[in-house]
């Protein structure tokens, strides 16, 4: 068993490393990420990690037909796993280079999960922890199966906010699934998990801080789907509890962080999946910790959660008190890292209604500005529109620097000299674009102003990306829109700056 284990590990690792290295040398996969102000990196880093991982997975799957007897692999389940993995990869690949709407992506993920269920991947029963009681789920099994696959795809994608984080946690989970498959004697699951372990290791050579390549949505969706499908495949042989719950335990800290982020955004009236810089790893980085130290610490927490959960279930609850104690530690750690306290929660709730109203207004202004980007005829005129939405957001003064050129605006009665009466914020939207804004402290709390300033920076970042996509040139104050693609676009531009006799 040692030879095939090493073979599939090395196959996945080498194939992944080689294809990513080739893409890096040939400068394949670079986009316009320098304008994404929510990202913590600088420069342009290609999102090609999924290519290496799908190659490692695909080669492992194909070799299953050589290594295994046909009778062992002719089940529709195995075809469903391959089809779902490839489809998940291409869904993410399209989104990496041509962003899709959230509703379209969710619909596609649900369709992938339904097809996987039709092929035989399902949760039919649930075992009550530490007992022999089994509950037949019936029709709810199909709902749970779809929810499980879609959730896992999105969880891996959501935690992909720091170099090496999603890949490292994915590696732990694949190692776990390989172990469970080995214990249950599910050979194809064991081989596929080993291939994924090797592929992720090959990818991490390029992704561990400082990253030279990113996982991208293609890699995140692929890893999430394979984790979900192999855990369901393992459950077919009776390992229902360990196969489904153990992966969730390894993701305990990221799930708690994401859950808090969703609650935080809902309270503030923001889109639930809007990115921000308030996650645990962002706070670690702002506290002065290096990327390497931060990701290694999060690895350690996830690994301890995984091992603790396995011990608790493997020994019929004998280690449950230790596991519950560790779970409590994780929850307290999230609260402390996010600076959550009872007093802070009470003060936050008192400000909620005002923040919600202003935040939603800022989001509407951002969306209006993005629509105007499609009609704008020059970067200079677009700056005038941007100044308008900044004023409507409550910004008193602003300075936007693109390269060596600056544009400023200020309200007549504002004065930046009164530093003690103004909030100040600076956002780097890539290497060449810097936004500085000020607002009166009378109108905003510190957190309130930080949120509005962040939405303001996001508005210019998204507009710059849309401008470049439409006009095939970067956005600056001297940019001119390209030729209209059709009559409707020309008409929109004519209405953008109407002239009257």
Range of 244-258, 400-414, 451-465 with top mean pLDDT: 451-465
The tens digit of pLDDT for each residue in 100-142 reads 877 889 999 999 999 999 988 887 776 665 566 677 777 887 8
Question: What tokens appear for 56 in the block?
Answer: 């490692």
Are the C-beta atoms of 351 and 445 separated by less than 8 Å? Answer: yes
The tens digit of pLDDT for each residue in 335-344 reads 565 555 555 5
**E runs forming strands in 370-410:** 397-402, 405-410
Greatest alpha-carbon pair distance for the chain in Å reads 86
Helix (H) or strand (E) holding 18: helix 2-25
- pLDDT at 381 exceeding the cut of 50: yes
Cα–Cα dist 345/230, whole Å = 40
Q: 358 vs 324, which has greater pLDDT? A: 358
Mean pLDDT within 54-81 = 78
Residue 491 confidence class, pLDDT cut points 50, 70, 90: low
pTM of the shown model: 0.77
pLDDT score for 239 = 45
- pLDDT at 397 exceeding the cut of 60: yes
Are the C-beta atoms of 22 and 85 separated by less than 8 Å? Answer: no
Question: What tokens appear for 308 in the block?
Answer: 């603790």
The tens digit of pLDDT for each residue in 145-185 reads 899 899 888 888 877 777 788 888 889 888 888 887 887 78
pLDDT score for 480 = 82
- pLDDT at 412 exceeding the cut of 80: no
pLDDT score for 225 = 94
Percent of all residues in the chain with a pLDDT value above 70, rounded to a whole number: 73
**Of the listed ranges 127-131, 377-381, 420-424, the one predicted with least confidence:** 127-131
Beta bridge partners of 125: 136
pLDDT score for 499 = 47
Cα–Cα dist 487/326, whole Å = 63
Question: What tokens appear for 447 in the block?
Answer: 């957190």
pLDDT score for 238 = 44
Are the C-beta atoms of 227 and 248 separated by less than 8 Å? Answer: no
Task: Name which of 164, 152, 274 is nearest 221 in CA terms.
Answer: 152
Please give the C-alpha separations between residue 357 and each of 188, 352, 389, 452, in angstroms, as whole numbers: 53, 9, 15, 11
CATH number, domain 353-494: 3.30.450
pLDDT score for 86 = 93
- pLDDT at 345 exceeding the cut of 80: no
Cα–Cα dist 242/310, whole Å = 7
- φ and ψ of 431, to 5 deg: -85, -25
- pLDDT at 4 exceeding the cut of 80: no
- pLDDT at 500 exceeding the cut of 50: no
Cα–Cα dist 218/454, whole Å = 27
Domain boundaries, the chain: 2-248, 353-494
The tens digit of pLDDT for each residue in 32-65 reads 444 455 555 555 678 888 898 999 888 988 887 7
Mean pLDDT within 79-102 = 88
pLDDT score for 501 = 42
pLDDT score for 233 = 83
The tens digit of pLDDT for each residue in 220-269 reads 999 999 999 988 887 754 445 555 666 777 777 777 777 777 777 777 76
Among the residues of 442-498, which ranges form H helices? 446-471, 487-496
pLDDT score for 488 = 64
Average pLDDT in the chain: 78
pLDDT score for 348 = 55
Q: 77 vs 493, which has greater pLDDT? A: 77
């Amino acid at each position: 068993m040692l030879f095939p284990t090493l073979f599939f590990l090395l196959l996945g690792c080498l194939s992944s490393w080689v294809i990513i290295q080739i893409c890096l040398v040939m400068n394949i996969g670079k986009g316009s990420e320098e304008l994404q102000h929510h990202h913590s990196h600088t420069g342009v880093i290609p999102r090609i990690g999924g290519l290496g991982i799908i190659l490692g997975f695909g080669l492992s799957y194909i070799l299953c037909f050589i290594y295994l007897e046909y009778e062992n692999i002719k089940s529709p389940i195995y075809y469903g796993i391959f089809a779902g993995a490839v489809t998940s990869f291409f869904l993410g690949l399209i989104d990496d280079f041509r962003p899709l709407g959230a509703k379209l992506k969710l619909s596609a993920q649900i369709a992938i999960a339904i097809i996987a269920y039709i092929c035989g991947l399902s949760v039919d029963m649930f075992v009550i922890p530490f007992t022999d009681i089994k509950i037949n789920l019936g029709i709810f099994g199909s709902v749970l199966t779809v929810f499980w696959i879609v959730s896992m795809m999105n969880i891996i994608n959501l935690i992909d906010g720091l170099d090496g984080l999603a890949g490292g946690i994915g590696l732990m989970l694949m190692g776990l699934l390989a172990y469970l498959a080995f214990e249950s004697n599910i050979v194809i699951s064991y081989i596929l998990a080993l291939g994924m372990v090797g592929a992720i290791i090959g990818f991490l050579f390029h992704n561990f801080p400082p990253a030279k390549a990113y996982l991208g949505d293609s890699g995140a969706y692929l890893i999430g789907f394979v984790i979900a499908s192999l855990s369901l495949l393992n459950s077919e042989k009776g390992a229902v509890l360990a196969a489904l719950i153990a992966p969730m335990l390894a993701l305990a800290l990221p799930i708690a962080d994401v859950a808090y982020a969703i609650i935080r955004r809902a309270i503030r009236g923001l889109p639930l999946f809007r990115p921000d810089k308030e996650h645990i790893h962002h706070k670690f980085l702002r506290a002065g910790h290096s990327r390497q130290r931060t990701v290694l610490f999060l690895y350690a927490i996830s690994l301890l959660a995984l091992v603790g959960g396995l011990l608790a279930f493997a020994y019929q609850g004998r280690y449950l008190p230790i596991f519950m104690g560790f779970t409590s530690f994780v929850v307290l750690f999230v609260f402390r890292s996010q600076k959550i306290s009872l007093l802070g929660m009470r003060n936050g709730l008192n400000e909620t209604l005002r923040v919600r109203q202003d935040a939603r207004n800022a989001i509407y202004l951002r969306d209006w500005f993005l629509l105007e980007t499609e009609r704008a005829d020059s970067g200079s005129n677009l700056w005038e529109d941007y100044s308008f939405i900044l004023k409507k957001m409550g910004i008193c003064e602003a300075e936007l620097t693109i390269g060596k050129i600056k544009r400023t605006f200020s309200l007549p009665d504002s004065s930046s000299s009164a530093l003690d009466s103004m909030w100040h914020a600076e956002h780097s939207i890539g290497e060449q674009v810097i936004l500085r804004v000020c607002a009166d402290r009378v109108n905003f709390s510190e957190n309130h102003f930080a949120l509005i300033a962040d939405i303001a920076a996001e508005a210019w970042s998204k507009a710059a990306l849309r401008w470049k996509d439409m006009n095939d040139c970067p956005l600056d104050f001297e940019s001119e829109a390209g030729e209209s693609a059709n009559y409707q676009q020309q008409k929109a531009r004519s209405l953008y700056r109407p002239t009257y006799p």
